[in-house]
């Protein structure tokens, strides 16, 4: 009797253990991933534990300073999806006459976007970690989102298959009728079916992209084509001016790079970028830094071709005179191991 009871308890214990490991194990993995990604991509500005003036870049940043992520009364006003949308957004040109920015839009240029650097899944892991910094728990259910995307993909595939069949049948019927009457096939007869199929293909591609983006980094495997950097002489000055504006007011490069005494120190000083770096290299780097150095802390900021060209032109003009090394080559943060 006693032995049997012990046996039952033993089995129960093992079962509970397995259950706890699978439930907790998965959550832990997500938490661990969020922690590592935060350490690699956020801590230099926001601090390892999210406090003011804790990150090594905090005091070098122009205003506004990186948000205090431990401030529960402020952070609790943001929903999980608001935090997600801040980390994963398109940068806005905050110059006068730049982009239209709504009252509720978050558009601080020196808070970079990670939309073009990390997968959606990774960004959710970071949101979960940020929640912990002010003692909250993420409520957003990533598993549900995954299921929704998978279901949407299945539906889109089904719609496309159906639309293809309908189109093929309509086309076949039209050509059979034309053959009977001995006339040319009239494309207009099945134009509607064709339009439906084309749309279904677009929807399928979009569902596929959303699904891929959930787990795959957007820049992965994307190589940047060699740019045409020629500019008409009369346009050079305007392009350089635009590049300067975008550098500060749209992409907040100054949050991480310094010019003279001003600016962040996450990346190297760019005072002499015009001497040291070649235009094609700069352009490619700006479009997809991870393609050239997978573990770099510099995110891909989603520069359009035109923006990348203007910023490249501007960097080409940065030709400060050489100074003693100690003055211009500020120490660059050591590059950490890849965070994936
Ligand atoms: C180059 C420095 C820098 C980096 C890197 C950085 N941030 Fe920020 N962050 C800022 C600045 C500046 C603000 C704006 C503060 C303000 O509006 O008062 C900000 C604001 C925020 C906010 C508040 C948004 C809101 O709606 O008010 C959150 C959340 C945040 N950052 C999270 C992150 C996370 C997570 C990462 C890493 C994936 C990150 N940040 C990386 C500088 C940075
Ligand atoms: C979140 C911080 C961050 C932001 C924002 C950022 N960079 Fe960087 N950048 C870096 C880091 C870090 C490096 C060093 C590369 C490495 O070794 O990982 C770097 C490297 C570079 C380099 C190569 C410098 C050299 O001497 O090798 C250039 C050029 C550059 N960045 C330009 C820009 C421009 C232009 C922008 C804005 C469009 C920008 N960066 C935005 C962090 C940043």
**Does residue 273's CB lie within 6 angstroms of at least one atom of ligand 2?**
yes
Pocket test for ligand 1, best of 67, 124, 129 (most atoms within 8 A of CB): 67
The protein residue whose alpha carbon is closest to atom 43 in ligand 2 is 298
Looking at 215, 247, 280, the residue that finishes a domain is 215
pLDDT for residue 326 is more than 50: no
**CA-based radius of gyration for the chain:** 27
The CATH number given to whatever domain includes residue 246 is 1.10.760.10
Please check whether residue 5 lies inside any domain of the structure.
no
pLDDT for residue 7 is more than 60: no
Domain span including residue 153: 142-215
> Do 45 and 105 fall into the same domain?
yes
This prediction has a pTM of: 0.86
Tens of pLDDT, residue by residue over 17-74, are 444 444 445 778 999 999 999 999 999 999 999 999 999 999 999 999 999 999 999 9
Instruction: Say how far apart CA 158 and CA 165 lie, in whole Å.
Output: 11
Kindly list the protein residues whose Cβ atom lies closer than 6 A to any atom of ligand 1: 41-42, 44-46, 57, 61, 64, 66-67, 78, 83, 86-87, 106, 108, 110-112, 114, 126, 130, 255-256, 264
Tens of pLDDT, residue by residue over 82-128, are 999 999 999 999 999 999 999 989 999 999 999 999 999 999 999 99
Tens of pLDDT, residue by residue over 116-126, are 999 999 999 99
The CATH number given to whatever domain includes residue 119 is 1.10.760
Q: Can you give the pLDDT at residue 325?
A: 53
**Does residue 37's CB lie within 6 angstroms of at least one atom of ligand 2?**
no
> Do 72 and 127 fall into the same domain?
yes
Q: Can you give the pLDDT at residue 339?
A: 45
């Amino acid at each position: 009797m006693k032995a049997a009871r012990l046996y039952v308890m033993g089995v129960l214990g093992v079962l509970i253990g397995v259950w706890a490991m699978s439930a907790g194990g998965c959550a832990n993995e997500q938490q661990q991933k969020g922690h590592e990604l935060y350490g690699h991509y956020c801590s230099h500005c926001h601090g390892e534990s999210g406090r003011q003036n804790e990150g090594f870049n905090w005091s070098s940043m122009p205003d506004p300073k990186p948000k205090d992520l431990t401030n529960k009364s402020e952070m609790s006003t943001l929903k999980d999806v608001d935090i997600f949308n801040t980390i994963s957004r398109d940068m806005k040109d905050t110059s006068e006459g730049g982009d239209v920015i709504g009252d509720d839009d978050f558009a601080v240029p020196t808070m970079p976007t990670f939309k073009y650097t990390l997968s959606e899944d990774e960004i959710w892991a970071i949101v979960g970690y940020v929640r912990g910094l002010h003692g909250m728990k993420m409520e957003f259910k990533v598993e549900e989102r995954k299921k929704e995307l998978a279901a949407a993909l299945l539906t889109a595939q089904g719609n496309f298959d159906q639309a293809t069949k309908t189109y093929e049948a309509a086309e076949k019927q039209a050509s059979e009728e034309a053959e009977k009457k001995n006339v040319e096939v009239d494309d207009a007869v099945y134009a509607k079916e064709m339009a439906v199929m084309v749309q279904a293909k677009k929807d399928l591609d979009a569902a596929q992209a959303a699904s891929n983006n959930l787990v795959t980094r957007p820049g992965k495997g994307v190589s940047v084509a060699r740019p045409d950097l020629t500019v008409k002489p009369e346009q050079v000055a305007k392009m350089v001016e635009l590049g300067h504006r975008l550098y500060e007011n749209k992409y907040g490069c100054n949050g991480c790079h310094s010019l003279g005494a001003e600016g962040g120190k996450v990346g190297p000083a760019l005072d002499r970028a015009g001497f040291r770096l070649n235009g094609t290299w700069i352009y490619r780097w700006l479009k997809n830094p991870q393609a050239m150095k997978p573990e770099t802390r510099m995110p891909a900021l989603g520069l359009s071709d035109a923006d990348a060209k203007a910023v490249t032109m501007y960097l080409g003009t940065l030709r400060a005179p050489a100074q003693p090394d100690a003055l211009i080559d500020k120490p660059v943060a050591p590059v950490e191991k890849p965070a994936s």
